[in-house]
Amino acid sequence: MEVNLNSRYPNISRYGIFLAFVLICLALALSTPRFFTLSNLLIIGTQVSINALLAFGVTFVIITGGIDLSLGSMVAITGVVAALFAHPDTYPLAVPLFAGLGAGLLLGAFNGLVITKSKVPPFIVTLGTMTIGRGLALILSKGRPISNLSDSFNFIGGGNILGIPFPIVILVLAFIICAIILNKTVLGRYMYAVGGNEPAARASGINVSRVKMWVYSICGLLSAVGGILLTSRITTGQPNAGAGFELDAIAAAIIGGTSTSGGTGTMTGTLMGALLIGVISNSLDLLNVTSYYQQVVMGVIIIGAVVLDSAGKTGT
């Protein structure tokens, strides 16, 4: 006998991630008193910011039924490009920012162009651009870190406003903008339509190729923001930066309720997914759990989220 979880418990899919987050936070607060200190909460927010930015971008992509495996490489190359123009007394701050953001936008648009024109699956295309991006980062940096960055550039990842780390400020602004795009614009409605039923969306007059171009371009732009934040935070442009970041971002989106089959997802859920990953990682650090076990825990959480998503839709 099949049981549809969404029909019997309609609030599970909507509020499950919030409930899980609250319960885990309460458990961690009881297990380690350092967890709920202001300094630790700000550390979590700063650590989460880059993954959340990437997760926002890939949420758009997954909602349309796609995937992007090149996020980590885009973090590396955009960081390197920005660092090349961020030396003191060389260019104003706007130059490295626009250079890095432009690189991310172009790479994202390239993904969208190849996917829409060649009809090659996004998994294959972005797997290729993942390698291309990493190679370009190594070429531009000549395989070495780019250091001696300006103080104004380093403020982006290391400064604060009224005691709030600047990466958290950027995260909040990005969340608001992405939520508006997804919930309040025509493009957002088209994303859900394309991911829910692409042939029907095309038959209804939606330019599916254009929607995908926008989606992958936005994803590349958000990856560039993450790349600039990381480069500023570590004060060097690292060609090997961002390795594995795409997996954490995809995990945050899936844990937050974005369906791997497309057509379903919210920015609030993705933010909660990223926060949940950050909280668990931080707490395991406080409890002196090695990174090896942390990877196992993350893997179990991802599988559990996908299983719950599948059970909630099809029933078992």
Q: How far, in Å, CA of 220 to CA of 226, rounded?
A: 10
Of 17, 32, 91, residue with least CA distance to 285: 32
CB of 227 within 8 A of CB of 242?
yes
| Residues of the chain below pLDDT 50 | 1-12, 316
**pLDDT value, residue 46:** 93
Q: pLDDT by residue (tens digit) across 9-47?
A: 444 455 667 777 888 888 877 877 788 888 888 999 999
| Whole-number Cα distances in Å, 9 to 5, 22, 125 | 6, 19, 39
CB 253 within 8 A of CB 14: no
Instruction: Give the CATH number of domain 39-306.
Output: 1.10.3470
CA nearest neighbour of 265 among 51, 63, 26, 9: 63
Please name which of 56, 49, 315 lies closest in space to residue 182, comparing C-alpha atoms: 56
pLDDT tens digits for 95-142? 999 999 999 999 999 999 999 999 899 999 999 999 999 999 999 999
Domain segments of the chain: what residues?
39-306
| Mean confidence (pLDDT) of the chain | 88
Residue 21: closest CA among 239, 294, 271: 271
Fill in the amino acid letter for 53.
L
